[in-house]
Structure 1
């Protein structure tokens, strides 16, 4: 088996780095009172750095050279005071910035989740779930670090560097020039490293999405993996992706680790120049012991903030790369909901006029010139071979997809003129692949319904009608039983009966049944059919079925092939026509046929 060359979900367009950082800062600036406290605390922290360097001058000259008793008394107290103030200021700046960071994480995750809830279905068709989850988890954490931790370092350490340089200029401008000689070389090194950091960071974001995607596939399909013996293949696939992720991280580490020694080497050159110049005979007369020690102390104190400022580049580039993914998602267009008409309860009159649809123009139309009228209260079954377009057709009704040509009308009005929420409130759906949430049975039945989950009477009635109470009564917690992740603690038939109960409780005028009884045994199916017969009364129903025995009583059967309607009629009429429907019927009901 070969591994796909790449996974979907990566945007080709990258938002410029400065635009990303501007948007990140806009999220942080909403909490400006906390940022103001942090800013003041950072300025105080920077001032204590300069204060400590300045303290070295009277310490050396007053205590060790002049033996001044006043200096000997107050300097120890000053040292304690400086570090006490520094500790309080560092705590305030770190705590307030972390608080802002977590607020930004919460806000971005909330915005992304709300955005995902309103994204069109085609977006999820094109993007891998693992990539989306990676953006919600890993990428947001990187963004938080860029929007808060980096601000702390940039402000506090920049002020510290400027303060120390100012003090050094005050002590001796000639010595300070020796430090500034290496500045262009440092700036060039930082610029080159910045480009590499951002490039590697983007690749790490994609790699983390691949890790999440593959792990999610294995967890979702663990039964398939086990039954088909795919453990070795999945392990090798994951190992390959995991190794690629490790290599990318090590490239980042190597870049970061080599960057600091280079900067420190330039600083060492500056330090050597200072020592050489300071010991020159012409300067020995100008510079006292205290001044020289204070200057060297200030320069050594420069190393730590300069190191952090150099390293913050990696943090910034990770955040910007992550921000490009996050804002790329947030900039994706939402479902078009330009309809203005409200709809309380539809009659259920459905019309399709010359409808054509394709998922990809290069692959051709999936539906071709479909014309179909479904009267209010009519039950229409859609049958045909796999890939004939049955499911695509019914997916147009709730506007999961928009047709490229033609119109879909509900009660004589183009469905695009209705508000989406009003349109979808008219439709109940039971699919072949049932989705249940990790919640109680009662909450799953009442999901999306105006009925409160605490209204046990109506939930019980829906469960009874769906023949679900036969197994619910045997459960220790009854309706309050947790069903597990996607109903994993229930059988396929039990999950489908809950889905039918959910549709019954919604009481919508239009019902879509997509292989709704496929997971039920013969006896349960017979009971469900009785419930459905009652449910279908006065409701417009579209039934998709491969088992033709389930649609024989439909008011009309529409036979589809290659995206077009081939035959239409009742079960008896279609058998008499001896066309495709009759052929499929013979296949299913002959001794050697397929069911």
Structure 2
């Protein structure tokens, strides 16, 4: 604000000096002397030189003020961008797991990194431009009105009317172009990330041309919206300058050409020059003000996208460093973990995917969940991890319901290794000691975890050992190596409940046996729930729950289920056939 006011006064001083200069050069009396006129020498030549020096000095001062003002505005814009993006990211990761079930992760990155940046450029910066421009426009308008008492109002009103008319016509097109641009940007981002993420499939299926064409088609479709969203906001600014110049000379020369006010041309030159300079000085802030207003209206689609993230309710988890929160030790299971009459349906569905699930898991036991795909195994595991809030029923630890305030403490006792592994684009040690600062990582514990996951030998042979970069989502590792690294992450946590969701599916039989032996060694120190189809994994379990259509169809140990569940028996026969085929294949390979 103060800088904008100082800048406006500097522009007024420049106009006053140029008015005095033209009046002196034309030999006309200085009817509107500048405020410090008495300090100038009386000699006309020295007076002209003094005014020229002052004029040059004020122009330099005005430029430096504008530069400093721009620096301040950009600093504020970037700070706002950082603050909004941090708030959006904080809100996103605080959302419950259910929030992400029907979301595209690519949309989040596009919204946080692109749309919020545009909000700072198309909303925050234009507001500052509009504010600073209004000061300059106000001061220069008063100056023009004082110089040209009769023609000034016509000039100002005509400029405002002309710009308002153009803005009214093109604003709907700008909004439409921006909305389409946002949608197509998301689509382009999705195509690019999907093609990179599935690069193996792209090469194996020769799909390079498919994704290239898909990306090219979207680019072609978005092309007109991109250039229109950039050009249309500048259209009023481009037209108002020549319109203003035309208007100034029309108003100034009209009395002279009509002959109603017979005056020498030399007499109106100072007036025309002063008005022209004033209008030129006025054009830039007017263009900035009008442009800012146009960008504000055009930026509404980006603002709407950003607000959806910024206005997400922040779910403040009761973290373990909070003194009022129960510690992980305080909720550590000592006897059993139980799902008590749990029912669950997804937020967008009325159909129960879990229906009256009753499961009791003794501490230190190994339990297997088996069943067809979509039978509810993973959803039940998510209930054990408190990732999903049951529609009814509860999770109990030693007979006591886990309350909302205890969820964070309970989850610190849990580890989860899914079939689809997600690794950080970082080094080995940061993937094993997930989410820990470098100073907090215990390297001995990292090596112990790698050894338990049967991957320590491989890591020790890597060029930089623990600090070797593994690429985006572990792309430099094989599928089995990625799964073992994920297992090492789970082992590092020394959790009391370990859930393995097809976590050994990418391992060969020998490596799986070695990993399961390692799990066996640590198994009695923690409770293990295995979601598996492999016969060897199922047979090692103390107790087995067979799922079907969101219910527990049968439960018991391996022998009991063979006797009382025909579907389980059929599944085991299929697994045995597969196991014999693998043995034959292994024999032929050897």
Task: Classify the TM-score, shorter chain.
Answer: 0.7 to 0.9
Map 1:360-371; keep pairs closer than 5 Å: 362=349, 364-371=351-358
Q: 1:265 to 1:456 in 2, by over 3 A?
A: closer
Is the aligned partner of 1:512 residue 2:499?
yes
Q: Does the residue aligned with 2:520 lie in a helix, a strand or coil?
A: helix
Equivalent residues in 2 for 1:285-300 (5 A)? 288-300=268-280
Could you tell me which residue of structure 1 aligns to residue 31 of structure 2? none
8 Å CA contact 1:194–1:313 kept in 2: the answer is no
How far is the alpha carbon of 1:70 from its aligned partner?
3.5
Alignment of 1:44-193 (within 5 A): 44-65=6-27, 68-182=44-158, 183-193=160-170
- The Cα RMSD (Å) is 2.7
Partner of 1:210: 187
In the alignment, the residues of structure 1 paired with residue 165 and residue 448 of structure 2 have an alpha-carbon distance, to the nearest angstrom, of: 74
Residue number among 460, 465, 471 corresponding to 1:478 in the alignment: 465
Deviation at 1:140, TM superposition (A): 2.3
Residue in structure 1 matching 2:328, options 332, 344, 347: 344
Indicate the structure (1 or 2) with the bigger Cα radius of gyration. 2
Whether the aligned pair in 2 keeps the contact of 1:175 and 1:278 (CA below 8 Å) is no
Q: Contact 1:356–1:370 at 8 Å: present in 2 too? A: yes
Larger displacement relative to structure 2 (42-51 or 573-582): 42-51
Q: Could you list the per-position Cα deviations for residues 393-450 of structure 1 after superposition, in whole angstroms to 9, with x for gaps in the alignment?
A: 1011222211222222223232234433212101011221222212222222222479
Q: Residue 326 of structure 1 corresponds to which residue in structure 2?
A: 306
Determine if the alignment matches structure 1 residue 583 to structure 2 residue 570.
Answer: yes
- Give the one of 496, 503, 506 matched to 2:490: 503
Show CA shifts across 1:28-80 (max 9, x none).
xxxxxxxxxxx333333323332222223221221232592243221220122
Q: Distance in 1 between matches of 2:526 and 2:98?
A: 29
Query: What is the Cα deviation at residue 390 of structure 1?
Result: 0.5
* Closer, same or farther: CA 253–335 of 1 in aligned 2, 3 Å: closer
Whether 1:466 aligns to 2:456 is no
Q: In 2, distance between residues paired with 1:526 and 1:539?
A: 19
* Alpha-carbon spacing, 1:384–1:118, altered in 2? closer, same or farther (3 Å): same
TM-score, normalised to structure 1's length? 0.86
Classify the secondary structure of the residue corresponding to 2:421. coil
How do residues 271-290 of structure 1 correspond to structure 2 at under 5 angstroms?
Answer: 271=248, 273-279=250-256, 281=259, 283=261, 288-290=268-270
Equivalent of 1:308, from 276, 282, 288?
288
Aligned-partner Cα distance in 1 for 2:58–2:111: 43
Q: 1:502, 1:428 → 2: CA distance?
A: 9
Tell me if structure 2 keeps the 8 A contact 1:341–1:417: no
- Taking the aligned partners of 1:264 and 1:84, their CA distance within structure 2 comes to 23
The question of 1:558 aligning with 2:545 is answered: yes
| In 1, Cα distance between equivalents of 2:293 and 2:250 | 28
Q: Tell whether the 8 Å contact from 2:546 to 2:568 is kept in structure 1 after alignment.
A: yes
Correspondence list, 1:204-283, <5 A:
204-253=181-230, 255-256=232-233, 258-260=235-237, 263-264=240-241, 267=244, 270-271=247-248, 273-279=250-256, 281=259, 283=261
Once the two structures are TM-superposed, the CA of residue 560 in structure 1 deviates from its matched residue by 0.7
Distance 1:374 1:366 in 2: 21
Q: TM-score, normalised by structure 2?
A: 0.87
Cα deviation code 1:85-110 (max 9, x no counterpart): 11221221111111122212222222
Q: Given that residues 43 and 159 in structure 1 are in contact (C-alpha distance below 8 angstroms), is that contact kept between their aligned partners in structure 2?
A: yes
CA gap of 1:168–1:283, structure 2 versus 1, over 3 A, is farther
Q: In 1, distance between residues paired with 2:14 and 2:262?
A: 24
Q: Note the residue ranges of structure 1 that are not aligned, 5 or more in a row.
A: 1-38
Relative distance call for 1:231 and 1:257 in structure 2 (3 A) is same
Corresponding residue for residue 32 of structure 2: none
Q: 2:481 pairs with 487, 490, 494, which one?
A: 494
2:560 corresponding residue in structure 1? 573
1:332-364 per-position Cα deviation (integer Å, ceiling 9, x unaligned) = 234475897614331162222222222255462
Please say if residues 452 and 488 of structure 2, whose CA atoms lie closer than 8 Å, have aligned partners that are also in contact.
Answer: yes
Kindly report which structure 2 residues correspond to 1:418-497, keeping only aligned pairs within 5 A, or say none: 418-448=405-435, 454-497=441-484
Distance in 2 of aligned mates of 1:450 and 1:262 = 56
Shift of 1:269: 6.2
Kindly tell me: are residues 551 and 343 of structure 1, through their superposed partners in 2, closer, same or farther at Cα, counting changes over 3 Å? Answer: farther
Count of residues in correspondence between the two structures: 557
Q: State which of 414, 419, 428 in structure 1 corresponds to 2:401.
A: 414
In the aligned structure 2, how far is the partner of 1:251 from the partner of 1:451? 48
- Alignment of 1:317 onto 2:330: no
Runs of at least 5 residues in structure 2 that lack an aligned partner in the other structure: 29-42, 583-590
- C-alpha contact (below 8 Å) 2:318/2:325 kept by paired residues: no
Q: Deviations over 1:137-183 (max 9, x none)?
A: 11122122235532442133222222222111111221112214423
2:588 aligned partner: none
Give the distance between the partners of 1:509 and 1:240, measured in 2 at CA.
51
1:98–1:158: structure 2 CA closer, same or farther, 3 Å change rule?
same
Local SS of the residue matching 1:93? helix
1:559-580 alpha-carbon deviations (Å, 9 max, x no partner): 1111111111111111122511
State how far apart, in whole Å, the 2-side matches of 1:451 and 1:275 are: 73
Distance 1:329 1:322, change over 3 A: same
